[in-house]
Structures are given as C-alpha cells and as structure tokens.
C-alpha cells in the first residue's frame, strides 16, 4: 500500500469524523480528529519515521577492528525487518561493512551507530549475497560514498521477477521502512575471484563461494583479528534455511572455510559463534545428512512424504528453526537431487 493511498484513507476518515460532528446532538470529538490528523502527518513524513524504527540495535565488539549488530531471530518481517546481521570493520583510513540490513531505515540507524565509533569514511559495503534481508539498506551507504562489492551471481537475482515481486511485497509488509523510494542496487564491482582489501594494517580477504546459499555468496576474513564473516552459509546453533541453494556447492564452500584458523565467526543470522569450528561442523553435518537421506530416497524411487517420515531426525530435531525449516529444506534437496540425477542421464 503506497503512502498516497494511506493518506487518502486517513483523510477520508477525517471527513467522516467532521461530518459526524456537524450532526445535531453530536459533540465534537476533538481527540479522535487530532489523533487522525496526527496519523496523516506520520504518513506524509514516513521517510522521517523510517529513520528511527523501534528496534534495539547494539554495536557488539568482536575484536580490536571488528564490530557487528545482531538482528533478532524470526521471519523476514519481524522486528521491523531487523533479523539479519551486519559487520563493521575499522581500518586506519576507512570503514568497510559486511551486509547492509533489510531496510533503508535500519541502514540509517546503523550509520548513526557507526558514527558513534568513528568519523572515517565508509569506503565499501560487501554484500554477502543478494537476499532482501541483507541488501535493502545498500542505498543508504551508497549515498554516503561507499562502493558496493557483490558476488558473481547477484545479477541473476536482480534480473529475476522474484526480486521485483519481493520488493513489492516488502513495500507492504515492511511499510514504512520499505517504501516506493527503496531501490534494488547492483554491485559496483562483482567479485568472481579471491580479492584483497588493504585498510592500513587491516587486511580483508574476500572469498567467492559460488552458488551456495544463493546465486552467489561471499565470505570475508579479517586479519590480523582472524575474524570470519560467513554470510548465510553458516548458522550458529540452528537449522539453516536452504531455499533453492546448491547444497553440493555449499558443502564445498564450508570445507574451504574450515581450513582457516578462525578465532571468531559472525554468521548472517544469530550470535557470534563461541566455537567457530563447531558452528561450521554443524552446518556441514546437517547438509550432508539431507543430501545422504534424500539422495537414497531418490535413488530408490521412494516418495518424499514416505522418505521424510521414515528418517530419524533426532540429531537436529531440538535445534531452533527445525519445525519451521526442516521439512521445506528436505523437500528442496529431494527435488534438487532428482534434477541432478536427470542431468546425469
């Protein structure tokens, strides 16, 4: 619903109230009219309202050069859209961000938090992947002078009907935080090979992970702090959302990441991994289990419903998001393994 439509509805409500007040025997309900007029003013200044969503956003220090803000676990429209994380990396001559949150309003709030830390210019935003809850804030940092770095594969999302449909849906479900002024921004530079940024004593290694969780994924390793930003390919202590991911590529990416000496791992959702190796291993085990069990069902021509009901899910059943995500994850993997089998015939 656009701001103009909302304004028209509210304005009509005022006319109804005014008409009622003019009827014989009716007293003026000034409080109701005042409240309605105030609502109209809020709608007309929704851009200002959107600058201050009612969410708790706290800068959490990870190391001497790294901070992050943690979104609240939930579905995409919970917590004014603040469900994902964003990282802040401080160099000697500038700041680099990892992800930009799920609305321009949240990005503006994050920018204010960053300015509590430093006045250094924001040189770049690295988009871990192109899903709505990580990219709708990009325009705020672009306006602040940042270069957007994104993965090869982001163009597939940007050129899809899904991207436009998702934006239209969020203009309703996350209004006024996402509105007609919210844009889909392409990367200024696509990352398709190992890429390093020198921030004056702080080195960032950007690693393309291929089509893992999305059409293209990036991870960033920060030295000398040994902090890894993993995006959505690792979930701390919970079931990941597989979506239409290439789980084989995802597992290969996790294998490469596990070779690093990581002292702190920041996933795309959830808190900092207290035991990074265990966080990587849990996601690996879960994806490998899905592929193994669903692969056996496909090979034996067992229907998905029958296979799903016969599987022992006890290793993962008590993890957060199991009830919400596991069946859908298993079904997606079942379909993808069917497609892999057909492609090999």
Give, as one character, the DSSP assignment of residue 186: -
Average pLDDT (51-73) is: 93
Instruction: Say whether pLDDT at 308 is over 70.
Output: yes
CATH of the domain spanning 60-275: 3.60.15.10
**pLDDT (0 to 100) of residue 137:** 98
**pLDDT (0 to 100) of residue 342:** 64
Peptide bond before 176: cis, by omega within 30 degrees of 0? yes
Confidence of residue 324 (pLDDT cuts 50, 70, 90): confident
Whether the Cβ atoms of residue 123 and residue 96 lie closer than 8 Å to each other: yes
- Of residues 298 and 345, more confidently modeled: 298
Give the gyration radius of the chain's Cα atoms.
23
**pLDDT (0 to 100) of residue 148:** 98
**pLDDT (0 to 100) of residue 4:** 47
Instruction: Say whether pLDDT at 234 is over 90.
Output: no
**pLDDT (0 to 100) of residue 238:** 79
Q: Which residue has the tokens 């306006």?
A: 143
Whether the Cβ atoms of residue 269 and residue 75 lie closer than 8 Å to each other: no
**pLDDT (0 to 100) of residue 8:** 43
| Beta pairing, strands 95-98 & 195-198 | unpaired
Listed in sequence order, the residues at least 6 apart from 164 whose beta carbon sits closer than 8 Å to its beta carbon are: 184
**pLDDT (0 to 100) of residue 224:** 95
**pLDDT (0 to 100) of residue 276:** 87
Query: Hey, how many other C-beta atoms are within 10 angstroms of the C-beta on 328?
Result: 12
Average pLDDT (241-256) is: 82
- Of residues 327 and 257, more confidently modeled: 327
Average pLDDT (2-26) is: 40
Confidence of residue 73 (pLDDT cuts 50, 70, 90): confident
**pLDDT (0 to 100) of residue 223:** 94
**pLDDT (0 to 100) of residue 208:** 87
pLDDT tens for residues 237-247? 778 888 777 88
- Of residues 306 and 341, more confidently modeled: 306
Which residues partner with 189 through β-bridges?
A: 149
Confidence of residue 344 (pLDDT cuts 50, 70, 90): low
pLDDT tens for residues 202-219? 999 998 887 778 888 999
Distance of CA 249 to the CA centre of its chain: 20
Confidence of residue 301 (pLDDT cuts 50, 70, 90): very high
Confidence of residue 329 (pLDDT cuts 50, 70, 90): very high
- Spell out the domain ranges in the chain: 3-44, 60-275, 289-344
Whether the Cβ atoms of residue 175 and residue 42 lie closer than 8 Å to each other: no
Instruction: Say whether pLDDT at 45 is over 80.
Output: no
Mean of pLDDT over the chain: 84
Share of the chain above pLDDT 90, in %: 62
Instruction: Say whether pLDDT at 31 is over 90.
Output: no
| CA–CA dist 234, 225 (Å, integer) | 19
Least confident of 67-71, 110-114, 180-184, 255-259: 255-259
**pLDDT (0 to 100) of residue 233:** 83
Average pLDDT (223-242) is: 87
| CA–CA dist 5, 20 (Å, integer) | 23
pLDDT tens for residues 89-142? 999 999 999 999 999 999 999 999 999 999 999 999 999 999 999 999 999 999
């Amino acid at each position: 619903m656009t701001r103009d439509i909302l304004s028209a509805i509210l304005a009509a409500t005022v006319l109804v109230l005014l008409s009622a007040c003019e009827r014989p025997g009716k007293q003026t309900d000034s409080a109701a009219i005042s409240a309605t007029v105030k609502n109209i003013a809020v709608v007309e200044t929704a851009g200002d309202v959107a600058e201050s969503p009612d969410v708790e956003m706290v800068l959490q220090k990870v190391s001497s050069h790294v901070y992050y803000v943690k979104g609240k676990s939930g579905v995409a429209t919970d917590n004014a859209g603040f469900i994902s994380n964003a990282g802040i990396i401080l160099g000697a001559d500038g700041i680099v961000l990892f992800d930009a949150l799920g609305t321009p309003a949240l990005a503006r709030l994050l920018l204010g938090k960053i300015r509590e830390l430093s006045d250094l210019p924001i040189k770049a935003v690295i988009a871990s992947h192109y899903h709505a809850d990580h990219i709708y804030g990009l325009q705020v940092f672009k306006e602040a002078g940042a270069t957007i770095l994104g993965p090869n594969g982001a163009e597939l999302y940007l050129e899809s009907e899904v991207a436009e449909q998702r934006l239209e849906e969020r203009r309703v479900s996350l209004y006024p935080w996402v509105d007609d002024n919210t844009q889909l921004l392409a990367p200024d530079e696509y990352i398709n090979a190992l890429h390093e940024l020198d921030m004056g004593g702080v080195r960032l290694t950007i690693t393309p992970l291929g089509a893992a969780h999305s059409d293209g994924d990036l991870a960033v390793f920060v030295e000398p702090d040994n902090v890894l930003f993993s995006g959505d390919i690792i979930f701390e202590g919970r079931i990941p959302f597989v979506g239409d991911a290439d789980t084989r590529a995802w597992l290969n990416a996790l294998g490469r990441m596990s070779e690093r000496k990581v002292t702190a791992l920041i996933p795309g959702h959830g808190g900092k991994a207290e035991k990074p190796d265990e966080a990587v291993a849990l996601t690996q085990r879960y994806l490998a289990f899905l592929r193994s069990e669903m692969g056996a069902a496909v090979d034996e021509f067992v229907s998905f419903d029958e296979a799903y009901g016969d599987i022992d899910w006890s290793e993962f059943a008590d993890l957060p998001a199991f009830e919400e995500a596991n069946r859908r994850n298993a079904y997606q993997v079942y379909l993808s393994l069917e497609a892999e089998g057909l492609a090999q015939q």
